[in-house]
A and B are shown apart, each in its own frame.
Chain A
C-alpha cells in the first residue's frame, strides 16, 4: 500500500514560486490500477516522480509498504527504486547499445541475480509482454510499441511493488497504445500488479480501477469504478 500525505512540491524558491503539488493526499491499495489524469501542468508527473523516488516533496511524506521513503539516503533510494519500483517513461528510454534482452537483464543483474536467474526472468517477462521472438534486437531495430514493451519488461523484471508509468502511450498510435494498456490490464488482473499510470486520453479511462483527476497541483476529484461495472476494453 502506498500512502502520500499532504504532499507539496514547490519549484523556484525565489520570487516566482510554482506550486506543482499543493497538498496532495492519496492512498493506493495493493493490486489497484490507478490512472492519474488532468490538464497539462496540473502536477501529474510531479506526483508520479514522488512515488518513483525521483524527486523529494517540499513537504509531506510518502509511505511505501510501511517504510517512509523520505528518510532514505540517495543510495538507499536507488536500491529502493531497483528492488521495489518499476518506472516506465514516455519515450521508452532504453539503453541503445543493449538488446531487448540485455536491457531487461540489466536491473536483475544489478540486483545480484545469477546469470541463470536473470536469463530465466528475462525470457519469462519478455514472453509476457509479447516479445519472445525479438529479444536479440537492439532498440534501434524495434518499433516504438515494441520498445515500450521492452521498457515495461525492464520495469517488471524485479517484480516491483509498484509499477509507475508516465504517459507510456503518448508516443504511440492507438493500436500500439491498446496493446500496452491491455498488457497493463493483464498484469494487473493476472499478477495483481499495482499500477499507477498518468494519462490524458479520455479513452484510457476504461482501463483504470480508479481515476485521480488533478488540477493546479491538487486532487480535483476521484472516481472509482466498481469491479463489476467495469466495461471491457473494446478491441
Chain B
C-alpha cells in the first residue's frame, strides 16, 4: 500500500515537473479563482449580516428588549425595575422609553414617524444614536420643548432627494408642531439632526421621556426597556437570568426583534450564494476532470505499457489522484493569496452599503468547508477519468 503510493507519487511528481506547464498553470489558476469565488461572496454576505446585526444592537434594540406583560400597555414602576436590572451582573446599560407614533407638521409637510421618548443619559448607555448627531446637539436629561430628528425625516428642500416623506428640509432651531395620539399638539424646537445610517433611527424622531410623560400625564412608566449586556451572543442566557429574577414582562432578544428583516435579506443572499457555490464547484470538477481525462487518454498507450511491465492499475490511478491533489493544493494556496489581495484592496476601499461600509468577514469554518469541498471535488475529478482510462485492456491500449 505504502509502496504503491510511493511509486504513484514518484510518477505524479515527474509528470508535474516535466509535463506540460501551460495547461497545469491554467488549471491551477482556475481552481484558485473557484476558491476565491467560494469564499468571497459569502464573506461579503456575512459582512453585511454582521453590519446589520451590529446596527440592530447599536441603534435599535440593545441586546434585550423588555415589553409590557400581555394585555398591558405600560410597564409600571420602571425606575425600580431599572435599578433591579442594573444590579444584575453582565448588564451594562438600561434605557426605559416610550415608543409611539406622532404626527409632525412643518410648513405644510406632514409626517407620521415613530416617536421615541427617552432618557438621554440612560439611552446612551444602551444605544449609540447620541454619537451620530450631524448637526445641532443631542437631547439632554431634563430637556423639554426640544426634539431630535433623523436626517431622512428632516429631509431635503428638493423633494426628489428624499427617501421617505419628510419635513422638507428642516434645520436645527426651527420649530415643528407635534400632535400626539391623545390629541395634544405641542411645539418643539429642533435641537439636533442624527445621521446614523440606521434606517429606523434616521426616519424617526426623539423627545425626552420627561416631556412625553408630561403630555400624557404618566409617571414612572415605559412601554419598552432596552438592555445592553457586556457580551453579545449570550442573550438567551441573560433572558433566563432575568426570568430567574422574577421578571414577568415579555423579553425579546435583538435577534428576535430584527429577525424578519434580516432573515429575508440573508435568505435571498444565501440562495444567490448557493447557486454561485454550485456553479463554482461544477466548474472545478469539469476542469480537473477534463485535464486529467485528456491527460490519461493522451497517455493511453503509456498506461498500457506501464500495466504491461507490471505497474498495477491502482498505482496509475493514484498517480493521477496525486496530480489532482497537487492542482487542488496549489490552486487553493493561490486562491488564498488572491483573496488576501482582494481583502486588502477592500480594506483600503470598502464597499459602502446603506448602513455603512461592509468589511468582508472570512469565517474559518467557511474556508474549511470550501477547501474540503474543493478537495473532494478534485479527488473525484481525478479518480473517475483515471479509473475509466486504466480500465482498458492492455493490448488495446498498447495498439493505440
A residues with CB within 8 A of B: 49, 52, 54-55, 75, 78-83, 85-87, 89, 93, 95-98, 102, 106-107, 109-110, 112, 138, 154-155, 158
Q: Which chain B residues numbered 304 to 318 have a C-beta less than 8 Å away from chain A?
A: 305-313, 315
Measured CA separation A155–B394 after assembly (Å): 17
Interface residues of B in 300-347 (CB under 8 A from A): 301-302, 305-313, 315
- Asked whether, in the complex, the Cβ of B301 is within 8 Å of the Cβ of A138, the reply is no
Known contacts: A78-B310, A87-B308. The answer to whether A102 contacts B14 by CB under 8 A is: yes
Cβ contact within 8 Å between B3 and A112: yes
- In the complex, A227 Cα to B7 Cα: how many Å? 43
Report B62-92 CB contacts with A as 1/0, cut-off 8 Å.
Answer: 0000000000000000000000000000000
Cα–Cα distance between A155 and B305 once the two chains are bound (Å)? 12
- Interface flags, B277-307, vs A, CB<8A=1, else 0: 0000000000000000000000001100111
Question: Which of these, A49, A89, A107, A138, contacts B310 with CB under 8 Å?
Answer: A107
CA distance A79 to B310 in the complex (A): 6
Contacts of A112 in B (CB 8 A): 3
Q: Which of A49, A78, A79, A112 has the most CB of B within 10 A?
A: A78
Inter-chain contact B308/A54, CB cutoff 8 Å: yes
Main secondary structure of the interface of B (DSSP, over half): helix
> Could you say which of A81, A82, A97, A106 contacts B18, with CB atoms under 8 Å apart?
A97
Provide the residues of chain B in CB contact with A138, threshold 8 Å.
18
29 examples of A-B residue contacts, CB within 8 angstroms:
A54-B395, A54-B398, A78-B311, A78-B313, A80-B310, A81-B309, A82-B309, A85-B310, A86-B309, A87-B308, A93-B302, A93-B305, A95-B11, A95-B14, A95-B302, A95-B305, A96-B302, A97-B14, A98-B14, A102-B10, A102-B14, A107-B310, A109-B10, A110-B3, A110-B4, A110-B310, A110-B311, A110-B315, A154-B309
Q: How far is the CA of A96 from the CA of B17 in the complex (A)?
A: 12
Q: Which residues of A contact B6 (CB under 8 A)?
A: 109
Q: Are B395 and A106 in contact (CB under 8 A)?
A: no
Per-position binary interface string of chain B over residues 207-251, scored 1 when its CB falls under 8 Å from any chain A CB and 0 otherwise:
000000000000000000000000000000000000000000000
- Residues B312 and A78 in contact, CB atoms below 8 Å apart: yes
Beyond A107-B310, A109-B6, whether A97 also contacts B19 by CB under 8 A is: yes
Chain B residues positioned under 8 Å from A95 (CB to CB): 11, 14, 302, 305-306
Residues of A within 8 A of B398 (CB): 54, 89, 93
Interface centre among A75, A85, A106, A112, by most B CB within 10 Å?
A106
* Contact for A106 among B7, B15, B308, CB less than 8 A: B7
Q: Is the CB of B310 within 8 A of A52?
A: no
Closest to A80 in B: B310
Q: What residues on B are CB-neighbors of A98 within 8 Å?
A: 14, 18
**A76–B302 Cα gap in the complex (Å)?**
21
Beyond known contacts A95-B14, A109-B3: 19 more, CB 8 A cutoff? A49-B395, A54-B395, A78-B307, A78-B311, A78-B313, A79-B312, A81-B309, A83-B310, A89-B398, A95-B302, A97-B19, A102-B10, A106-B10, A106-B311, A107-B309, A107-B311, A109-B7, A110-B312, A138-B18
Shortest Cβ gap from B307 to chain A (Å) = 7
**In the bound complex, do residue B15 and residue A97 qualify as a contact, i.e. CB atoms below 8 Å apart?**
yes
Q: Give every chain A residue within 8 A of B309 (Cβ-Cβ).
A: 81-82, 86-87, 106-107, 154-155
Contact of B311 among A82, A86, A93 (CB under 8 A): A82
Binary contact readout B5-26 vs A (1 if CB under 8 angstroms, 0 otherwise): 0110011001101110000000
- Name the B residues within 8 Å of A82 (CB-CB): 309-311
Contact B315–A52 (Cβ < 8 Å)? no
* Cα A61 to Cα B313 with chains together (Å): 25
- In the bound complex, how far is the Cα of B310 from the Cα of A86, in angstroms? 9
Identify the closest chain B residue to A97 (Cβ).
Answer: B18
Whether the Cβ atoms of A52 and B302 lie closer than 8 Å is no
**How close is B12's CB to chain A, nearest CB, in angstroms?**
10
Q: Which residue of A lies closest to B15 (CB)?
A: A97
- In the assembled complex, the Cα of A138 lies from the Cα of B398 at a distance in Å of 21
Min Cβ gap B281→A in Å is 30
Could you tell me the distance in whole angstroms from the C-beta of B330 to the nearest C-beta in chain A? 18
Determine how close the nearest CB of chain A comes to the CB of B226; give it in whole angstroms. 69
Closest to B394 in A: A54
From B17, B301, B307, B311, residue with most partner A Cβ within 10 Å: B311
Give the nearest-CB partner of B312 in chain A: A78
| Shortest Cβ distance from residue B54 to the other chain A in the assembled complex, whole angstroms | 55
A-B CB proximity, top 5 nearest: A82-B310, A81-B310, A97-B18, A93-B305, A97-B14
Contacts of B310 in A (CB 8 A): 78-83, 85, 107, 110, 158
Cα–Cα distance between A86 and B305 once the two chains are bound (Å): 12
Chain A residue at minimum C-beta to C-beta distance from B14: A97
Measured in the bound complex, the distance between the Cα atoms of B306 and A55 in whole Å is 15
The CA of A55 and the CA of B307, in the complex, are separated in Å by: 12
User: Smallest distance from the beta carbon of B19 to chain A beta carbons, Å?
Assistant: 6
- Distance in angstroms between the alpha carbons of A93 and B315 in the assembled complex: 18
Q: Nearest chain-A residue to B4 (Cβ)?
A: A110
> In the complex, which residue of chain B has the Cβ closest to the Cβ of A113?
B3
- Chain B residue contacts of A87, Cβ below 8 A: 308-309
